[in-house]
Copies of this chain bind each other. A is one copy, B any other.
């Protein structure tokens, strides 16, 4: 047992932190300003110059595509090695994309590395790895409780050597981005006869295929997150070649499961970074404001909140790092409970810490002068992403109880 990061990780942390300080934090206001200007000029949904500059710098600094664990394309970091880097990137909403490490592209790239044909990789994976296009992932549906994946109603029907796709998806992250060229679509190929977890398939659908319509961007607590964000997308008799299926018909659930583990580590570690940033802002604000004749930082209630925040963050970090460690050593399957646990623990922790930080900021905390309200909206949303807390807690409870059943 050893709670220290390896020298390799410490080095990457140092380089990433340096890059954050030199390039990322100063770019936050620039990014906001550019988007606001674009919005005023009539179109917020276009790539920003500042982000493209950041990407070039990150690439030049060798801090690019750090997420990809193995394979000829990747940085080759284990989950446990990559996790603390995710924490650093999580500190700024501008960071993940700058390092080409943002959702849903990372999960999509991993999926393409594993299951796409050489040709498909040429066409979609390489530009994604290069950061010149973006991608989306279409699974959740507005009409049903999608946390139960067997509820999915979208249809993928074979017609000769094509699939005909019909359905409506939402929370399709990345879809409204004008750079989004490809999406991974989950639907049922065999709703009638196959067993419940073999009915779903995943297929590659180029965004510009006829019948694909980006209906609207979905706001989150009033934020539209232009030029990226979540979309509602309709699919009306969309036709793609049968070769676009990933791994094979009926394997959709299996792929979804495989994506989950790393995706949760990334999300949860980024949330820890978010919470650390919130705590930092909270401390600075408390030190800088005077109320009733003394700094807010001198008030016992403030200190108590700060102490609790520190405890919550550190506890959550260890939980996530342990899950990463288990994924690396015993695999996603055995680490199922640990992966479910972080999904429950990290977003709630982040919401709580951010909320305390907002409170110390007074009205400024809910405005856009600080990144807190936006961070809260993001963390709160992750309490639903790939299933609400309730579903995960139910699973964890069942697994724990199973230990005592004969």
Contacts and interface: CB of A to CB of B under 8 A. Distances in A.
A344 B301 CA distance: 15
Interface string A131-165: 00000000010101111100100000000000000
A26 B406 CA distance: 21
B373 A220 contact: yes
Contacts of A384: 359, 362-363, 365-366
Interface string A186-226: 00000000000000000000000000000000111111100
Given A311-B319, A318-B318, A322-B318, A381 B363 contact: yes
A350 interface: no
Contacts of A73: none
Nearest to A279: B400
Interface string A374-390: 10110011011000111
Contacts of A310: 337, 341, 396, 400
Nearest to A365: B384
Contacts of A325: 1-3
A151 to B, nearest CB: 7
B1 A373 contact: no
B304 A397 contact: yes
Interface in A263-319: 279-280, 283-284, 286-287, 289-292, 296-297, 299-308, 310-311, 314-316, 318-319
B142 A400 contact: no
Range for the number of chain A residues in contact with chain B: 35 or more
Number of copies: 4
B341 A390 contact: no
Q: Tell me the interface secondary structure of chain A in the complex.
A: helix
Contact of A366 (B147, B220, B394): B220
Interface in A55-84: 80
Given A326-B3, A359-B383, A303 B397 contact: yes
Interface of A: 1-6, 9, 80, 140, 142, 144-148, 151, 170-171, 218-224, 230, 279-280, 283-284, 286-287, 289-292, 296-297, 299-308, 310-311, 314-316, 318-319, 321-322, 325-326, 329, 337, 341, 344-345, 358-359, 362-368, 373-374, 376-377, 380-381, 383-384, 388-398, 400-401, 403-405
By Cβ-Cβ distance, the 7 closest A-B pairs, closest first, are: A303-B397, A222-B222, A318-B318, A222-B223, A307-B396, A315-B315, A307-B393
11 contacts: A218-B363, A221-B373, A279-B400, A284-B404, A291-B391, A303-B394, A303-B397, A306-B397, A314-B322, A359-B383, A365-B384
Given A297-B401, A300-B390, A301-B304, 5 more contacts: A145-B291, A220-B367, A280-B404, A303-B393, A307-B400
